[in-house]
Structure 1
Amino acid sequence: MSSNNNSRTLLVIALVVVVAGTVPATVAGQAERTGGTVVVEEGETVDSLEAFGGTVIVEGTVTGDVSAVAGDVRIEGDVEGDLEAVGGSVTVAGTVQGDVEAAGGSVTITEEGVVGGTTSIGAGTVVVDGTLEGDAEIGAETIQLGEGASIAGDLRYGGTLEGNTDAVAGTIEQDSSVGVDVAPTIQPIASWLFAAYALALNLVLGAALLALFPRFSDGVASRAASTPGRSGLVGLGVLLGVPVLLVAVALTVIGIPFSIVGAFLFALAVWLGLVYGRFAVGAWLLSLVGVGNRWLALVVGLVIGAALGLVPYVGDLLNLLVLLLGVGALAVGLFGHWRTARERDRESRGGVGPGGPTTD
């Protein structure tokens, strides 16, 4: 009995760790950080930063180097060392005293952006509107030099150069080998990395749910498969209605703390609904071939969902439908559980409810 309790405790701890990894995380001196959003806040100072997440933002000061892989990387504060960044978009709107090596779908150096060392970029599109105090090597389909751009050293580039070429104080050399295939290569790699990261998180969450609440989880999957239309409509109502309700509560001012907590719970519920929806799809597919293993259903459903996420448009639409299915089935299951618990409570009190004694 004690070993079973210990197992459940470990699963709860694992679930808490996973949930913590999906909410915005503030770096507090750590050199390594992973999460949905990693932030070095304004006024905060850390020694160095190695981050992987959905979004990485540096608003404060990093006295060492920054290495970041994320969907969006933004440097708005000060980096006293070098910057290595890979992402869907990379933006330097602060100061990097060392070198910058960046690759992604788009890389932007804003008017406020300053790079003290050399700059090496490979991307689909590059916009330079800030100050590069050293040499620059840029490979991209399109390189745009804005009116506020200033490049103190030489510029070696591959691709199409447009805009204010007078911003380059040194020589300008075109070299078709610079940055060749960097952008087309980095985007699929980043997509697969994020898909694998999300799959791992979903697997941990799903395993915890199946181990802690096996009957409830099976009920959600069964409900989604047996009444997909009803579950989908309920899910749509939840996704549209809850945010409106949270905004209405926040407008009362006194309800702001409740709306913040509610927003967190809503985000968690959506995540649970996504996992349950994919679990339901996996269970349904396996039922077609006569297999009833819930653990295999979880893996199959999550893998299919992750694969669909890599397919533009159609994959996103199918995942949205699965999300609606899971959220709706989860909401109906929770409501049914609450109603059953309420009826049992009334029966345990001898049929006395809020309105007084009842008769059948």
Structure 2
Amino acid sequence: MSAQDQRTGGSITIGPGETHAGDLEVTAGDVLVAGTVDGDLTATGGSVTISGDVTGDVTATGGSVIIEGTVEGDLTATGGEVHVREAANIGGPVEATGETVTVDGTTDSDTRLDGESVTVGPTATIDGDLTYSADETTISDDADITGAVTETERDEGMAPFSNVSLPDIPDAALTPLVSLYLFLANFLFGAILLVAAPRFSDRVSAQGIDRPIVSGGVGVATLIGMPFVLGALFLSVVGIPLAFFASYSFIFFLWIGLVYGAFVIGTWGLSVFDYDHRWGGLAAGLAVVSLANILPYMGFLLVGIALFGVGAFVRALYEWRFANGDNGEQRESAPYPAVQEAKA
């Protein structure tokens, strides 16, 4: 193996009896070091467990970080749960931060713990100073701590605002305020879409109004197909970063669908009264979205509007992509004319 190694995958294991020579950087769903890492270890994952030996420093970040082996250097651990178990032996300074932080093993240098809950068990040995900050703390009388024990305040960076109190907002007013905020945020995003791509937005509206069932079906098919695409990407090392990017992009894609779905519904509603106005249609549709957000048991309506909008958007994009037909003529217009004009 190379002196420096980077590994990515669903599960990465250094098995018992296996030795990795050199520094190791790992990113995976589950990381298990049961063998030896002869160098520094940087591990990021849903769970990180070190039951073997690491001759250098360890930097571990995960939903849970479990240390039950030997770390000859420093330990920096961050996670929802950080546990230095009884069999663990840490040679250098320890910094552990998490929701729950527990030390039952041996640390040969100064130790700093920060969490909502911090526990130093009866089998713990800390050969140095212990500094901790926590909402709930349990330090056993049987723990062997050779240095000073110091408690510090949590979130010291927020101290300048500790005396500032926010006004109480009545529960009855909270929901309308949230709905107003969402309406304004969605309207601003919709305005960006309409200004940047007015003709394309009209095409989305036409697709939704002319063939609503087809648009809804395309949206549902997109929702069903996306997990399979993401799963296929996660199966390959190269595809994992793309899968994470696609996951966040799909959330943004659904937001586009929600705004465009509202735009289609509002435009159709105004057309019933023989009134055609982009901004009025956007405002009317988003008013329906805000009302659905306030009313109980109407969450399914928001999902339906988003999927309907996704379908209309995909169909409009498909139509624009092949608008030039088979004769090779130039497309009638780009989907974002405002952006194209700015570039020109």
| Structure whose CA Rg is larger | 2
TM-score category (smaller protein):
0.3 to 0.5
Which has the larger share of helix?
Answer: 1
TM-score, normalising length: structure 1? 0.45
